[in-house]
Structure 1
Amino acid sequence: MRTIKAFPMLSAEEEYDYAMRLKNNNDLEAAQKLIVSHLRLVAKIARGYIGYGLPQLDLIQEGNIGLMKAVKRFDPERGVRLVSFAIHWIKAEIHEYVIRNWRLVKTATTKAQRKLFFNLRNMKKDSNSLSPDEVNDIAHELNVKPEDVTEMEYRLNGQEMSIDIQHDADGEESYNPIAHLEAETLEPSAYLEAEQDEQLQSTALMSALNSLDERSRRIIEARWLNEKNNSTLHDLASEFGVSAERIRQIEQKAMQNVKKLMLTTN
């Protein structure tokens, strides 16, 4: 991590110049500059997958492969910063690595079950076990059976490690993982990077939403962008006078369009 942080971040002008040199002249030195300046982004994303029980260095290495693929395909003339473009490729490679190597995923054979696997941790409100109502809500949200949610929660909890002080057989403190967690306060460069990324993502999202038809945009906003209380499929089905399945189809298609447009929108 010290080595990664030693590489300087690039300004927008420097990034554009290196990317154009790579695009027009296949300049590998320029490609290297683009890659090493974004290694901290890979490490940041990889930290989000530590809970799956896989080595962090392996997660970072897979993320680096995604970063290299992103650099190879990056077009600076689209007006989008590399950080926004690379996130998709980095996460895609890490996801594939998790699916190939973590035994719990091998039991999740359907697309819905894999969606449950990758989203259950974030959908839980706290570290406590899910209540029956929460199980039903998550099952409905992800279109899986309630028993699938319960089983996956049990398996995920079985892999977790306490971050509090642990004791050996003699009662002595032997391991304290919480002492090694990253500080919540970001360093200035990381804070600026996160702020810029959030601004770019927000601009791209609004542009993508504006391209949707009125009904599709209403569904996406009600389902995902309502901070207080997101609407259910049945709520929107009643509002538009169609079936819940039809609302799900519209939502799925709209989300696909939004994701595609966010990759290309400035």
Structure 2
Amino acid sequence: MKRGLALVLVGLMAGQAWAEVPQSSLRPQLRADGSVSARALPRIPDRPETLGVARQVQPKVAPSLTRVLRPRKRSDEVEEAGRRKQAARRRGAVCGDLDIQGVEVGAVGGPGACGISQAVRVSAVSGVALSTHALMDCKTAKSLKTWVDRGMKPAVRQRGGGVSQIRVVAHYACRTRNNQKGAKLSEHGKGRAVDVAGFTLVDGTKISVLEGWGTRRDGKVLKRMHSAACGPFGTVLGPDANRFHRDHFHFDTARYRSGSYCR
């Protein structure tokens, strides 16, 4: 009897313990100082971002080449040298053309009908030197320049670096044609003619009218030169003209009603 009563009391006490509600809350407590952990808060962006709008990215601009391609300013020394060279050309220019270099001679008298009223002694034409400083009038000097620019240079092109010197074998001389007794006065006696026997290239190569006319390589160049002279000059004679011109070109500025005479 007593044992049964004891079991009943134990059961009642256990049920009461299970029925007790906890007095403390299971909810997390704030810290004593009231602070909140930074990790617990979401990051608030400084600027609002709009969804669905692509972010604008500025394209990278290639560095400008203007500074690289722009030529450097020439030094004072280079500019001064250029001015001196140009001044020298002006001082050496004749016939009112910077490309015709030489000296003014003035009137040249001679026996009979020979002579030049206003002569110049030409040393270079369009940058090409004459082996002999040739005495002539300005009309002939200008015709020579035209031929050099439009005939001689294009015929040679860049072979050997171009022509550096023209071999002049005759210019002003008071004589008859072909030095023949009883012949008419030559255009040489009037300062209207120049005879050319060959050319020297920049690399030292020689082109001779006498030796090259009948060859394949030089002959082609010489024939082009000869043909181009017909027009700037009134008379053009070469190796095929006669025995007196087998070794040179004769150019003069005589004019004929029928036009230029070229042989």
TM-score range for the pair, normalised by the shorter chain length: under 0.3
Which protein is bigger by CA-based radius of gyration? 2
TM-score (norm 2): 0.28
Which one scores higher on RCO, CA 8 angstroms, separation ≥ 6? Answer: 1
Name the one with the larger strand percent. Answer: 2
Name the one with the larger helix percent. Answer: 1
